[in-house]
């Protein structure tokens, strides 16, 4: 056990550095590489200017103090003017440096968020990740961790780059004043860094756990907000209160451990920083007393020592930030990996082949997840354009799984499904989904074309949804439709969208729950007239003569096809 912990820590650090390098390389070679490289180059130039001005400032400060010691009025006035001039240039450089850093950070966050969101929504990855539970709180990681990652990566990179330039710039200054002081600074920084890593190493894992525990607490609060009516009717406040209390106890307990580690680290770093004020004076003051150094060199040595020690001691001064950063990189890496998706079809045992002309099932067996029980066995069927197929089953699980298999999100099973690409097929589940926004946006095609009133309202009236839409405020009001429309009304609006969009095929679950038999027949006829083939799943409420064929699936997964066109 004792041997595995250091090994795990080394693996953790190695993976973190690898992921970090990949993220920076992707940004530097991505679509915005021109702007990114230009702003990074400007940052480097400003950093060089700031370090050069800091070195110049140390010499001006030395001569300023020496002029005071010698009571040299003209020298004092001249050095004062130089001091003010250097401060003015430093102010300009520092302000533009900060401005450029923030703009580069914003560019990186914007680019990375677009990339990750695109990958997250591609090929149903959001569904697979949330269904498998392999990544907790992906929404929080995308929203918060991307922001933290880009800001901290840029900040830490510049801190360490600035430390390197500062070390180069001030080592010569410190060496020229006292070689002993330079050696003391190096040894002091090395010993301090080693102790800081030893004392603060637990923070990496603790910060990682803290982010997850805080996100779990927020997730439960969001769940309560989104299910207020169900919670009130079920009267399960006591269970939720107990769950929230456990969430609070979990993040509080972990946070107490973080505070304890920070306390121990703080004892060391605070004392470490206080001693840096005394060491250069103790070493250089005897040189001044013996007459081998000017008075101004005492203040110059203190400044140079601080800069050199700060450069060597970045691990000490930045360790709390570094530990939080390592946790963010680790939490974000599974999400960031989705940004590398190339759009390939996600498949399991059931493969998907795209054909714009038909829906077909080629020896398709659909199984329950994590088991060998077959819901549908060796289904073979070809559904050409403008066809109407009814699929009934002894269990709704079978028809639900078949719809998910068509969508490409049900992996358990084997065989091949042929269908149009998802942009040309409409999948209406038993539980409808109407995204936030305006209904005019929802009723249109995915290419963003605006739906005119002359097209939208007749479709809504055909399915009986016009009154509900008028009551909600019309087509152009932005609402969270889950709170405004009932499930039945949302189903009707989704059916109206089929008439407007006219996809090549529509796969509809439980059509009879939204429309009566005559209404369903009219809708099916209107869709066929528009060139849309229809697969209706799980409905015994509809008239079979309104379909071209019927598939009946029994409790063992066996199936029987009845063609109503030829009377077979």
* Tokens coding 423: 């942009």
Task: Say how many domains are in the chain.
Answer: 2
Instruction: Give yes or no: residues 383 and 415 share one domain.
Output: yes
Q: What is the pLDDT of residues 434-446, one digit of tens each?
A: 887 888 888 887 6
Largest CA-CA distance found in the chain, in angstroms, rounded: 117
Q: What is the pLDDT of residues 196-230, one digit of tens each?
A: 777 777 877 788 788 778 888 888 888 787 777 66
Instruction: Give yes or no: residues 250 and 190 share one domain.
Output: yes
Instruction: Give yes or no: residues 388 and 239 share one domain.
Output: no
Instruction: Give yes or no: residues 263 and 132 share one domain.
Output: yes
Residue range 523-538: mean pLDDT, rounded: 90
Instruction: Give yes or no: residues 317 and 405 share one domain.
Output: no
Instruction: Give yes or no: residues 368 and 297 share one domain.
Output: no
Contacts 24+ apart (CB under 8 A), 125-131: 125/338, 125/341, 125/346, 127/409, 128/346, 128/409, 129/334, 129/338, 131/409
Instruction: Give yes or no: residues 385 and 273 share one domain.
Output: no
pLDDT confidence of residue 135: 66
Higher model confidence: residue 99 or residue 369?
A: 99
Higher model confidence: residue 316 or residue 280?
A: 280
pLDDT at 347 over 50: no
Share of the chain above pLDDT 70, in %: 77
Q: Is residue 171 part of a domain?
A: yes
Residue carrying structure tokens 């409808």? 432
pLDDT confidence of residue 5: 41
DSSP code at position 386: T
The rounded mean pLDDT for the chain is: 79
Higher model confidence: residue 232 or residue 367?
A: 367
pLDDT confidence of residue 516: 82
Higher model confidence: residue 82 or residue 348?
A: 82
Higher model confidence: residue 305 or residue 12?
A: 305
**How is 191-250 classified by DSSP, letter by letter?**
HHHHHHHHHHTHHHHHHHHHHHHHHHHHHHHHHHHHTHHHHHHHT-HHHHHHHHHHHHHH
Q: Is residue 345 part of a domain?
A: no
Count CA atoms within 13 Å of residue 119 on its CB side. Answer: 18
pLDDT confidence of residue 122: 72
pLDDT at 398 over 50: yes
Q: Is residue 6 part of a domain?
A: no
- Provide the CATH number for the domain around residue 377: 3.40.50.300
As a whole number of angstroms, the distance between CA 239 and CA 158 comes to 48
Instruction: Give yes or no: residues 434 and 492 share one domain.
Output: yes
Residue range 346-352: mean pLDDT, rounded: 70
Nearest to 440 by CA among 473, 464, 415, 411: 473
**% helix, strand, coil for the chain, step of 5:** 70, 10, 20
Tally: H helices and E strands in the chain: 19, 10
Q: Is residue 271 part of a domain?
A: yes
- Provide the CATH number for the domain around residue 217: 1.20.1560.10
Instruction: Give yes or no: residues 104 and 209 share one domain.
Output: yes
Residue carrying structure tokens 């702003």? 39
Q: How far is residue 349 from each of residues 127, 174, 236, 294, 502, measured CA to CA in Å?
A: 17, 68, 40, 81, 31
Nearest to 552 by CA among 384, 360, 387, 394: 394
pLDDT at 567 over 60: no
Instruction: Give yes or no: residues 111 and 182 share one domain.
Output: yes
* Tokens coding 153: 């990566």
Are the C-beta atoms of 86 and 302 separated by less than 8 Å?
A: no
Domain boundary pick from 289, 313, 338: 338
DSSP code at position 437: B
pLDDT confidence of residue 389: 92
Instruction: Give yes or no: residues 316 and 361 share one domain.
Output: no
Domain boundary pick from 338, 371, 404: 338
pLDDT confidence of residue 550: 92
Q: Give residue 221's domain range.
A: 13-338
Higher model confidence: residue 502 or residue 567?
A: 502
Q: Is residue 568 part of a domain?
A: no
Does residue 378 sit in helix, strand or coil? strand
Q: What is the pLDDT of residues 40-83, one digit of tens each?
A: 889 889 888 887 887 787 777 777 777 777 778 887 788 888 88
As a whole number of angstroms, the distance between CA 261 and CA 199 comes to 7
pTM of the shown model: 0.57
pLDDT at 1 over 50: no
Lowest mean pLDDT among 175-179, 294-298, 320-324: 294-298
pLDDT confidence of residue 505: 93
Per mean pLDDT, which of 273-287, 336-350, 518-532 is the most reliable?
518-532
Domain boundary pick from 338, 367, 398: 338
- Say if residue 162 is exposed, middle or buried (CB neighbours under 10 Å; 0-12, 13-18, 19+): buried
Lowest mean pLDDT among 298-302, 512-516, 553-557: 298-302
pLDDT confidence of residue 185: 74
Instruction: Give yes or no: residues 429 and 297 share one domain.
Output: no
Question: Would you put residue 531 in left (φ > 0), alpha (ψ -120 to 50) or beta?
Answer: left
- Pairing of the two strands 388-393 and 549-553: parallel
pLDDT at 155 over 80: no
Q: Is residue 5 part of a domain?
A: no
Q: Is residue 312 part of a domain?
A: yes
Q: Is residue 332 part of a domain?
A: yes
The secondary element (H helix, E strand) that includes residue 125 is helix 125-132
Higher model confidence: residue 541 or residue 299?
A: 541
pLDDT confidence of residue 445: 74
pLDDT confidence of residue 418: 92
pLDDT confidence of residue 235: 67
Q: What is the pLDDT of residues 74-105, one digit of tens each?
A: 877 888 888 888 888 988 988 998 898 888 88
Give Cβ neighbours of residue 17 (< 8 Å, ≥ 6 apart): none
pLDDT at 340 over 50: no
Give the CA radius of gyration of the chain.
34
């Amino acid at each position: 056990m004792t041997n595995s912990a250091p090994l795990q820590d080394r693996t953790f650090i190695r993976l973190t550095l690898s992921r970090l390098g990949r993220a920076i390389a992707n940004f530097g070679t991505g679509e915005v590489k021109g702007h990114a490289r230009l702003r990074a180059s400007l940052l480097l130039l400003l950093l060089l200017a700031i370090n050069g001005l800091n070195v110049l400032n140390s010499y001006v400060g030395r001569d300023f103090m020496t002029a005071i010691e010698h009571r040299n009025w003209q020298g004092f006035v001249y050095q004062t003017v130089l001091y003010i001039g250097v401060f003015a240039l430093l102010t300009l450089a520092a302000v533009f440096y900060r401005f450029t850093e923030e703009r580069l950070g914003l560019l990186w966050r914007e680019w990375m968020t677009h990339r990750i969101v695109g990958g997250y929504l591609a090929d149903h990855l959001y569904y697979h990740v949330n269904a498998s539970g392999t990544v907790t709180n992906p929404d929080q990681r995308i929203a918060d961790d991307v922001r933290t990652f880009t800001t901290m990566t840029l900040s830490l990179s510049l801190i360490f780059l600035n430390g390197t330039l500062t070390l180069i710039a001030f080592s010569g200054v410190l060496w020229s004043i006292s070689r002993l002081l330079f050696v003391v600074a190096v040894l002091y920084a090395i010993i301090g860094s080693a102790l800081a890593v030893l004392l603060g190493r637990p923070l990496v894992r603790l910060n990682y756990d803290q982010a997850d525990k805080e996100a779990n607490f927020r997730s439960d609060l969001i769940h309560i907000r989104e299910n207020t009516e169900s919670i009130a009717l079920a009267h399960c406040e006591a269970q939720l209160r107990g769950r929230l209390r456990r969430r609070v106890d979990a993040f509080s307990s972990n946070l107490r451990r973080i505070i304890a580690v920070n306390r121990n680290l703080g004892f060391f770093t605070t004392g470490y920083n206080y001693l840096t004020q005394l060491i250069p004076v103790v070493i250089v003051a005897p040189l001044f007393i013996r007459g081998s150094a000017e008075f101004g060199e005492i203040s110059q040595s203190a400044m140079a020592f601080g800069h050199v020690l700060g450069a060597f001691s970045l691990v000490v001064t930045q360790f709390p930030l570094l530990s939080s950063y390592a946790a963010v990189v680790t939490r974000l890496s599974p999400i960031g990996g989705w940004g590398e998706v190339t759009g390939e079809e996600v498949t399991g045992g059931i493969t998907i082949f795209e054909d714009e002309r038909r829906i077909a099932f080629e020896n398709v067996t659909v199984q329950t997840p994590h088991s060998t029980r077959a819901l549908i066995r060796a289904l073979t069927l070809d559904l050409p354009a403008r066809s109407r197929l009814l699929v009934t089953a002894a269990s709704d699980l079978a028809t639900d799984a078949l719809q998910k298999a068509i969508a490409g999100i049900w992996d358990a099973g084997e065989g091949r499904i042929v269908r149009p690409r998802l942009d040309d097929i409409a999948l209406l589940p038993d539980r409808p989904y109407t995204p936030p926004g305006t209904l005019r946006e929802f009723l249109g095609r995915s290419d963003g074309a605006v739906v005119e009133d002359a097209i939208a309202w007749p479709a809504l009236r055909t399915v009986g949804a016009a009154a509900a839409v008028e009551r909600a405020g019309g087509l152009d009001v932005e609402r969270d439709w889950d709170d405004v429309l009932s499930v039945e009304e949302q189903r009707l609006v989704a059916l109206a969208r089929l008439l407007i969009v006219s996809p090549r095929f529509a796969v509809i679950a439980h059509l009879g729950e939204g429309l009566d038999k005559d209404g369903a027949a009219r809708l099916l006829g209107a869709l066929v007239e528009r060139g849309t083939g229809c697969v209706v799943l799980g409905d015994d409420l509809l008239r079979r003569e309104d379909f071209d064929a019927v598939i009946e699936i029994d409790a063992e997964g066996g199936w029987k096809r009845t063609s109503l066109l030829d009377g077979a």
